[in-house]
Amino acid sequence: MITSTQLRAKFLAFFQSKQHAVIPGKSLIPENDPTVLFTTAGMHPLVPYLLGEPHPAGKRLVDYQKCVRTGDIDEVGDPSHLTCFEMLGNWSLGDYFKKESIAWSWEFLTGRDWLNLDPAKLSVTVFEGDANAPRDEESASHWLAAGVPAGRIAFLPAGDNWWAAGPTGPCGPDTEIFYWLGAGLPPAGSNKGSDSANWMEIWNNVFMEYNRVDEKNLVKLPKQNVDTGMGLERTIAVLNGQTSVYQIDIYQAIITAIGRVSGYSYGADPTKDMSVRIIADHTRTATFIIGDPKGVSPGNIGAGYVLRRLIRRAVRHSRKLGIEGGFLGQLAEVVIGQFAGAYPELAENRQRILDELAREEAKFLETLQKGEHEFEKMLPNLLKNPQKIMSGRLAFKLYDTYGFPIELTLELAAENGLTVNRAEFDEAFKKHQELSRASTEGSFKGGLAEQSEITTRYHTATHLLQQALKMVLGDHVAQKGSNITAERLRFDFSHPEPMTPEQLQRVQEIVNQQIARDLPVTMEILPLEQAKASGATALFGEKYDALVKVYTMGDFSKEVCGGPHVERTGLLGKFIIQKEQSSSAGVRRIKAVLE
Ligand code: SER
């Protein structure tokens, strides 16, 4: 049996043997990317480098990255879907391309010293071509050269073999690798194109040579890159001859713990087993989100809202297993134990994780009790109804006023011989959602940090702003968040009280003076310690690579930052602070525009 720790180590070692530098994975909360709530693929933190920025660690990189995807939440619990997973990735930034990428993937998968998978159980797909890019005969020829029979290579359309993280950004054709899940050996000629159900994707090699600028325009990137993503959980399952990701070491440990707290023995009842898997998945994801260096708390918008939904869904399923009280903390301890080696931040933030989970759990249990109580009060009247129907309006009232989930209303109603007018509830619910979630919804759609000229200017202005704030307010000012769109910058920083109008005026003046001075913006690559010693501002708690980029703006500002930035501050225009407000306890927020 191979464990997740062993697979991570093997992957890094293999690519190190091919001269790749190991870089640390990054936060789950993307910096400077208003279009996504979470890091959803290993490539997200590397986007600036895929677009052409030099990476301080070089052109060949290898890493593992924690990711969260909630788009498939309804499929969680089936054999291959998780909301939190890890991607192992090797990267070429304008270095090697299709030939080496394919040869090395094959060597790692089938090599006796590496994963030693049976070549007869592997198949691949390549891009069949369309108006954007030609049929990828080149990749197919490299697979043939590696020894993959022609019958195991499927040419598929863009829906399968074109990878883009979002509506804009780096993209390109990909070649995907699948493992046979069926019994025995796959029949001759079987591949993903002919038998979709029995082939499970384990690795995706994207050949990123394009940048989608907008809906109509696809331009060639300055360099040809490789972005690969191997699903850690799926690959372990395959290596161990398991057919579900929930059978691997990490999830088995969590599932055993769920058995301990519930007394339910896994395998006895398919419906309850599903609840166990959902709880296992959601607890891991919630633990990772809270335990991230940029940890999030449950809330009503954005990432906090997703977190709240995950926790509440886990609690709801726990009740199906007969768990009554707080249990998430006990499970989170198991998650922390399983992952702290690979993600030390989980152990560092252990107390915060336990506190947040306990608080949200208690809040939700209270909601449930209140809802049940209200239902009991409604019951005598409901039972008088000859058709034994509860109106959707009443069910919605329970949801809207008390936060009581419809699933529980349905259960309570059924227990009392009632049915609920679901259509009426759904209609009321839909209306409510349209109103209240419009803002959060957009954030699920994916997409990448925009790298246009205007956002680059805002990025540079943010550095000037941070330095000006330090000068006016003091050295306690530290960046707590940054979010840039083409319309404005938003900067969160630690400061205990509202700024006075004079302070705001002064900060704005200083930034505009530095713009007027037309300072040169320069970049150098330094070892992290040296960068810090040189006085460069760095984010506390952020994981940096061993070598980092330091951006200097004349004699005014020096920050560790991935870039990109404009070349001179004179390009920024006029800097205007529009708003200063509270962001959270001890954190202030400034919104500013360039005109
Ligand atoms: N970006 C690709 C993916 O997410 C490969 O890493 O599948």
CATH code, domain carrying 96:
3.30.930.10
238 and 287 co-located in one domain? no
The model's pTM is 0.74
Specify if 167 maps to a domain: yes
Residue matched to tokens 């726990």: 318
**Residue 43 in contact with ligand 1 by CB distance below 6 A:** yes
Residue matched to tokens 């010293």: 113
Specify if 567 maps to a domain: yes
For the chain, report the end-to-end CA distance as a whole number of angstroms.
60
From 233, 173, 192, 224, select the one nearest 3 (Cα to Cα): 233
Token couple for 339: 């992952």
Residues whose CB falls within 8 Å of the CB of residue 455, separated by 6 or more in sequence, listed in order: 449, 484, 485, 486
From 449, 369, 578, select the one nearest 35 (Cα to Cα): 449
What sections of 187-248 are H helices per DSSP? 232-239
Number of domain units in the chain: 3
Element (H, E) at 388: none
**Burial of 273 by CB count in 10 Å (0-12 exposed, 13-18 middle, 19+ buried)?**
middle
CA 322 to chain centre: 32
202 and 297 co-located in one domain? no
**Measured distance CA(98)–CA(466) in Å, rounded:** 42
Q: What is the position in ligand 1's atom list of the atom closest to the CA of 40?
A: 4
Residues whose CB falls within 8 Å of the CB of residue 542, separated by 6 or more in sequence, listed in order: 27, 293, 294
- Residue 208 pairs with which residues in a beta bridge? 225
Contact assessment for residue 468 and residue 504, using Cβ atoms and an 8 Å cutoff: no
Tell me which residue range forms the domain holding 555.
453-594
Element (H, E) at 431: helix 422-441
Residues whose CB falls within 8 Å of the CB of residue 429, separated by 6 or more in sequence, listed in order: 396, 399, 406
DSSP-derived secondary structure for 271-340: HHHHHHHHHHHHHHHHHHHHHSTT-----SSHHHHHHHHHHHHHHHHHHHTT--S--HHHHHHHHHHHHT
The pLDDT value given to residue 324: 86
Question: In angstroms, what CA-CA distances link 210 with 72, 138, 163, 218, 447?
Answer: 27, 17, 10, 6, 15
Specify if 94 maps to a domain: yes
Specify if 445 maps to a domain: no
**Residue 160 in contact with ligand 1 by CB distance below 6 A:** no
Residue 422 dihedral angles phi and psi, to the nearest 5°: -70, -40
259 and 364 co-located in one domain? yes
The pLDDT value given to residue 322: 92
460 and 399 co-located in one domain? no
Token couple for 427: 């209609």
Strand ranges in 508-574 using DSSP code E only, listed in sequence order = 521-527, 547-553, 557-560
CA of 279 to the centre of ligand 1 (A): 26
Contact assessment for residue 36 and residue 303, using Cβ atoms and an 8 Å cutoff: no
Question: In angstroms, what CA-CA distances link 369 with 377, 380, 429?
Answer: 12, 18, 21
**Residue 229 in contact with ligand 1 by CB distance below 6 A:** yes
**Residue 42 in contact with ligand 1 by CB distance below 6 A:** yes
**Burial of 230 by CB count in 10 Å (0-12 exposed, 13-18 middle, 19+ buried)?**
buried
Last residue of a domain, one of 246, 269, 285: 246
CA of 88 to the centre of ligand 1 (A): 10
Residues whose CB falls within 8 Å of the CB of residue 548, separated by 6 or more in sequence, listed in order: 56, 525, 526, 527, 528, 531, 538, 560
The pLDDT value given to residue 447: 34
CA of 165 to the centre of ligand 1 (A): 8
Specify if 435 maps to a domain: yes
Specify if 446 maps to a domain: no
The pLDDT value given to residue 289: 97
Last residue of a domain, one of 246, 264, 291: 246
User: Ligand 1 atom 3: the closest Cα is on which residue?
Assistant: 229
- Is beta strand 169-180 parallel, antiparallel or unpaired with respect to 122-127? antiparallel
Token couple for 332: 């989170």
Site to probe by mutation for ligand 1, drawn from 91, 174, 205, 232 as the one with most ligand atoms within 8 Å of Cβ, is: 174
385 and 467 co-located in one domain? no
Q: What is the largest CA-CA distance in the chain?
A: 81
Contact assessment for residue 331 and residue 261, using Cβ atoms and an 8 Å cutoff: yes
CA 259 to chain centre: 29
Q: Give 520's DSSP letter.
A: B
126 and 43 co-located in one domain? yes
Token couple for 560: 């560790």
**Is the C-alpha dihedral spanning 380, 383, 386, 391 positive or negative?**
positive
Residues whose CB falls within 8 Å of the CB of residue 43, separated by 6 or more in sequence, listed in order: 50, 89, 165, 170, 206, 227, 229
- The number of residues in the chain equals 595
403 and 470 co-located in one domain? no
8 and 151 co-located in one domain? yes
Amino acid, single-letter form, for residue 32: N
194 and 279 co-located in one domain? no
CATH code (residue 506):
3.30.980.10
Specify if 398 maps to a domain: yes
The pLDDT value given to residue 79: 87
Q: What is the position in ligand 1's atom list of the atom closest to the CA of 229?
A: 6
Site to probe by mutation for ligand 1, drawn from 15, 36, 87, 200 as the one with most ligand atoms within 8 Å of Cβ, is: 87
CA of 249 to the centre of ligand 1 (A): 24
Token couple for 295: 């940890």
Last residue of a domain, one of 391, 413, 440: 440
- Residue 204 pairs with which residues in a beta bridge? 176, 229
User: Ligand 1 atom 2: the closest Cα is on which residue?
Assistant: 229
Specify if 447 maps to a domain: no
167 cis-preceded (ω within 30 degrees of 0): no
The pLDDT value given to residue 436: 53
88 and 70 co-located in one domain? yes
**Measured distance CA(214)–CA(230) in Å, rounded:** 28
Token couple for 250: 């990490």
Question: In angstroms, what CA-CA distances link 457 with 414, 435, 486, 518, 593?
Answer: 59, 34, 9, 13, 10
298 and 189 co-located in one domain? no
**Measured distance CA(263)–CA(160) in Å, rounded:** 43
pLDDT tens digits in sequence order for the chain, 595 residues long: 899 999 999 999 999 999 999 999 999 998 766 667 899 899 989 988 998 899 999 999 999 999 999 877 878 888 888 999 999 999 999 999 999 999 999 999 999 999 999 999 999 999 999 988 999 999 999 999 999 999 999 999 999 999 987 778 889 999 999 999 999 999 999 999 999 889 999 999 999 999 988 878 899 998 999 999 999 999 999 999 998 999 999 999 999 999 999 999 999 999 999 999 999 999 999 999 999 998 899 987 788 888 998 999 999 899 889 998 889 999 999 999 999 999 999 999 999 999 999 999 999 999 888 999 999 999 999 999 888 999 999 999 898 888 888 888 998 898 899 999 999 999 988 887 666 544 343 333 333 344 567 788 899 999 999 999 999 999 899 998 888 887 899 999 999 999 999 999 999 999 999 999 888 898 888 888 888 888 898 876 677 777 788 899 988 999 998 878 888 898 898 999 999 999 888 889 999 999 8
324 and 428 co-located in one domain? yes
